[in-house]
Amino acid sequence: MAASQEKQVSIWWWAFGYFAAYAPYSALTKALSDGKLGAKVPGNTILPLSTLASFLAMVLFLWGTGWWRSAGRRQIAGYAVPFPTRWTALSGLCGATILTTTTLAYTISGVSIVFMMLLLRGGVLMIAPLVDALSRRKVKWTSWVATALTLSSLLVTMIGRDENFTLPILAIIDVSAYLAAYFIRLRFMSKLAKSEDLEVTRRYFVEEQLVSTPAAFLGLTILAVIGGGEFDNIRRGFLEFPFTAQAFLAITIGVLSQGTGIFGALVLLDKRENTFSVPVNRASSMLAGVVATLSLWALGIGKVLDWREAIGAGLVISAIVVLSLPSLLKPTVAAPKPG
């Protein structure tokens, strides 16, 4: 059946898939990089193997679902090869940036999962109404209320954490790159992919997937060849780490990471405005981060949820509720009665 004739899957199923992949993904990444599951492994050492696993998971998903057929084609050596447009390729590069910065975010020492998630998820939540405004989509007053709640959550989590309210430079770079990539990606999605026609949306999704993980892996390969400084850890991720007893954990992280990429993208590609789809996306990952933190604590390999982070998470969830209510409570038009 053509995608345009299929019944659209509820965004909440995609959100559940995102949550189910994100909770173990963030918990495993944090535990492995903190040395709770054997030797401590730097985040950039995890990336090569996890990204390769993500690539293979992406190929299997597109092949297993048959969605690869939705991609555009280009003739190469007499064969019609699935090929992205320049815009889906650029969006895929943004996806590659998001993939690597997300994994690195949970490996930065001195910064907890929930605190980084509040910065990453809260930042994208604030971007959503701006993207809607630039895309000439109506921005509801609830978006501005949610923005205030999100800013409040960030301020709460910083109270008493550091006298100078500073973050490690790596965390600042990571968050900045993540938010810039999301802004560009949401702009492209709003203009080209949020459509009533499922075939249009699926084509965008597949073409973006064809670029994002391969681009991330290629970038890591180049950095490993350059070497020096932190890049030496990436090189070890290619040459040494795959032969350790912890390699299977990185493979699992990569598969789960691709799961978050697939389900997270499908949530964002929902035809409704970003002020609806982004909060659903953020809610899933935020709750997953809380579950991951509590799970590590329950297993005795992590810290209990910080009270500031708990309040901050509650404020972000409140923002999500505020943003989601108008769409959830929107009355449906009753079908006319016969006669």
pLDDT digit string (tens) for 65-94? 999 999 888 888 778 888 889 999 999 999
pLDDT of 210 over the 70 cut: yes
Q: How far apart are CA 253 and CA 299, in angstroms?
A: 18
| Nearest by Cα to 256 from 99, 45, 149, 136 | 99
Q: How far apart are CA 148 and CA 278, in angstroms?
A: 16
pLDDT on residue 335:
43
Stretch among 118-122, 124-128, 163-167, 224-228 having the lowest mean pLDDT = 163-167
Taking the domains of the chain in order of start, what are their residue ranges?
A: 14-326
Q: What is the pTM of this model?
A: 0.81
Highest mean pLDDT among 239-243, 299-303, 316-320: 239-243
Please write the tens of the pLDDT for every residue from 259-293.
Answer: 998 999 999 998 888 877 888 887 788 788 888 88
pLDDT of 47 over the 80 cut: yes
Q: Which residues contact 165 (CB under 8 A, 6 or more apart)?
A: 158
Residue 328: Cβ-neighbour burial (10 angstroms; 0-12, 13-18, 19+): exposed
pLDDT of 190 over the 80 cut: yes
pLDDT of 306 over the 70 cut: yes
pLDDT on residue 251:
96
